[in-house]
Amino acid sequence: MRYRQLGRTGLQVSELSYGAARGATEDPAQFIATVHAAIEHGINFIDTATGYDGGDSERVLGEALQGHDEVFVETKYCPYESYAVGAKYVGTPEALLASAEESLRRLRRDHLDVFLGHGIRTLESFERFMNDGCYDAMVKLRDQGKVRFLGISELSEGDGTHQVLQRAVPTGTFDVVMLTLNFMLQTAADSVLPLCRQHNVGTVVMMPLNQASRQSGLVSLPAALELVRRHIAAGNLPDQPPYHDPDLLAFLEPYPVPEAALRFVLAHDVSTCCAGTRSPERLQANLRAIDPPYLDSVRLQRLRELFGGIQRQAF
């Protein structure tokens, strides 16, 4: 495993990190086995949130991490009614503080390494979060030693050009951002990553497989081609050659699509690529991507030519 610096936090984090959003409720034993396998292979950064699996992600993760204080944990507070794009903003400093305390209890820790405002999706709600006491509550947690570093994550489904993060990063108030970057949504490479380098903000990449499902996403060649079809239907890609070609992604060989997708992210100047997986076997496949130079310049340029113009996600 190779390690990269998480911006000005100074933390050295594994370039491939573990996303613990799913699996804790469905199969806790396998979830724990996968977390342990990740740690055994050198992964030292795990992302979770209060809302993942109804709180079971944090609870079962807390069980899995007993005796592994060397692993950094990132969790989040969502100030909206749901993760839906148009969900109502309901954030309050009291709810944020209570959420952090509950995360500490579930995770069985005396501090959170990184604590994020979760899924901030509009400039208007970003300004509310910063001025209604929520951000001040985060600072209070840091001053109390309950949180080490502060961050913000976006909701790229509603903000494909990353307007919120472009506003947030230059403020100097956040140590870490969690952003979407994959070869079907590349906009952050030109808009957010340069700002993060300039302000020494750590970058945790989410959705490297584009919020994948078995039907559509970067989990397999058929699912990737289905995602291309959905982008065409949404008007994000032209309805013309080569986008209907079944060999559209043949240039990625010998890499399978999921491995190529992870390699695409790791070829950028990011701190860590956060990939979720529900089994040690899938984790083993993901680990094949940590092989510099990750993806060569010819493949990177071809991905940019084909998909670099996409400015919103399709699912």
Tens of pLDDT, residue by residue over 215-236, are 899 999 999 999 999 999 999 9
The per-residue pLDDT for 243 is 98
Residue 235 — left, alpha, or beta (φ > 0 → left; ψ -120 to 50 → alpha)?
A: left
Spatial contact of 14 and 3, defined as CB atoms under 8 Å apart: yes
The per-residue pLDDT for 213 is 80
Q: What is the 3-state secondary structure (H, E, C) of 123-176?
A: HHHHHHHHHCCHHHHHHHHHHCCCEEEEEEEECCCCCCCCHHHHHHHHHCCCCE
Residue type at 251? Answer: F
Domain coordinates in residue numbering, the chain? 12-307
SS3 of residue 3 by DSSP:
strand
Tens of pLDDT, residue by residue over 92-137, are 999 999 999 999 999 999 999 999 999 999 999 999 999 999 999 9
Q: What are the φ and ψ backbone dihedral angles of 71, each rounded to 5 degrees? A: -85, 130
The per-residue pLDDT for 247 is 98
The per-residue pLDDT for 35 is 97
CA-CA distance, 262 to 287, in Å (whole number)? Answer: 9
CA-CA distance, 204 to 13, in Å (whole number)? Answer: 10
Which residues of the chain are under the pLDDT cut of 50? none
Spatial contact of 182 and 147, defined as CB atoms under 8 Å apart: no
Task: Identify the helix (H) or strand (E) that includes residue 5.
Answer: strand 3-5
User: How far from each other are the two terminal CA atoms of the chain, in whole angstroms?
Assistant: 31
CA-CA distance, 87 to 157, in Å (whole number)? Answer: 12
The per-residue pLDDT for 214 is 79
Candidate CATH numbers 3.40.50.360, 3.40.50.12780, 3.20.20.100, 1.10.3720.10; the one for domain 12-307: 3.20.20.100
Cβ-proximal residues to 254 (8 Å cutoff; 6+ apart), any chain: none
The per-residue pLDDT for 211 is 82
